[in-house]
Amino acid sequence: MLESILTLKNVGTKAKITIKTMVSVGLIALAVVLPQLVHLAAGASGGVEWLPMYLPVLVGGCLLGTWWGLGVGISSPIVSFLITWAAGNPMPALARLPFMICELAVFAAVAGAFSKLVAKDKWIAFPAVLCAQISGRAVFITLTAIFQSVSSLSVNMVWAQIKTGLLGLVLQAVIVPLIIIGLQYLLTKEKKND
């Protein structure tokens, strides 16, 4: 979506890369900070229930497209892990990190695949987010099933986490598209005022 808006504004390639880089860094930072705030407010189980890292990744996919969104999806759990590990309390936990990298990569890639359609019809953001969530969670449980013999995660444990996080997913399925629609409105409104 952002690519389409920048193209309409006749933004040059270097400026597009700079803008997308800044947006990506901001979303990755949000993906690190938001879980910390949720854990402070809702306790240790808040992350599993509200899935705060997913929100910036879904926004990144819808806003930035597949490849830039994929960068946000892969980088977010890694950066979060490294920063929180250095602080003494790694999040996500090391055992969950590879699964979360894959899951969030799928979230971002699937949401990003809809990015050009969202630019044409803002309401496409709703099915984009829903498809991304279903695909990401399916990858998470599938990878767990494949690797449960060498992982501390089991399919039953992951299924319980998915059920626990259902309310968070539902809220994000509404909030993320509204954020995208709002951003599209603000960015295109600014275009009309130029």
Task: Give me the helices (H) in 43-124, please.
Answer: 46-50, 54-64, 66-86, 97-113, 115-120
Task: Kindly list the domain boundaries of the chain, sorted by start residue.
Answer: 2-189
The helix/strand count (H/E) of the chain reads as: 10, 0
The three-class DSSP label of residue 94 is coil
CA 100 remoteness from chain centre: 11
pTM of the model: 0.94
Per-residue confidence of the chain (194 residues) as pLDDT tens digits?
A: 999 999 989 999 999 999 999 999 999 999 999 999 999 999 888 999 999 999 999 999 999 999 999 999 999 999 999 999 999 889 999 999 999 999 999 999 999 999 999 999 999 999 999 999 999 999 999 999 999 999 999 999 999 999 999 999 999 999 999 999 999 999 888 545 44
Within 13 Å and on the Cβ side, how many CA atoms surround 44? 3
Q: What is the pLDDT of residue 194?
A: 46
**Distances 8 to 15, 16, 39, 182, 191 between C-alpha atoms, Å:** 13, 12, 40, 18, 8
Within 13 Å and on the Cβ side, how many CA atoms surround 75? 17
The CATH number of the structural domain formed by 2-189 is: 1.10.1760.20
Report the distance separating Cα 107 and Cα 127, nearest Å.
13
Amino acid at 49: E
